[in-house]
Amino acid sequence: MKYDLNDFLMKIIPEIFEEHPELFLEKDEIKDLNYFNQRIYLWQKNQMLLNEVIKKIPDSFKKKYSVKELYCMQKLYMLYPDNPPNDLLGLPWDCVKVIINILSVEKRSFYINACKKYSWNVRELRYYIVCDLFEKYKYLCEKQNCLELDILDKLLQYEFLIFE
């Protein structure tokens, strides 16, 4: 299914380019804008492009892929242009969508490994991100001068009591 969608996208993008060349912007168009306005402009162009792709997607794909899903796939590709880590691909898609929004590479890999080890669902993952489990873990490791996973186990036991 992944390769079918990839083949379809490789075929459809040139067609969209011919119909809507304004969606494929040149750097000269935005160089006079400030950073914030550049980001808004790029985001709007990206949304319009994804909407055009959705219009051309065959019915077999429409049931599975919304604009939001395509945006998440695009973001995953931008984070890992060659290949995403196998640990990340082994997680549920809802967890992947949350993890790709984490900016720090170290933090992202921590949550990927923790999700895999403890079989977190998306609700648990969001909770631990909000309560900043990574920062607590990092602080305890620095304080005790070690990187042992049993510290994470103890920290999770404490957080679990609060979570309940």
Q: Provide the domain count of the chain.
A: 2
Other beta carbons within 10 angstroms of residue 125's beta carbon come to 22
Could you tell me the residue range of the domain that residue 106 belongs to? 85-164
Q: Are residues 98 and 46 in the same domain?
A: no
Percentage with pLDDT > 90 across the chain: 19
For 42-99, write each residue's pLDDT tens digit. Answer: 777 777 777 777 777 777 666 677 777 877 887 887 788 777 888 888 899 899 999 9
Q: Are 134 and 112 in contact (CB under 8 A)?
A: no
For 81-94, write each residue's pLDDT tens digit. Answer: 777 888 888 899 89
pTM of the model: 0.67
Q: Are residues 90 and 163 in the same domain?
A: yes
Domain boundary among 50, 79, 108: 79
Q: Are 96 and 88 in contact (CB under 8 A)?
A: yes
Of residues 67, 81, 116, the one with CA closest to residue 96: 116
Share the mean pLDDT of the chain.
77
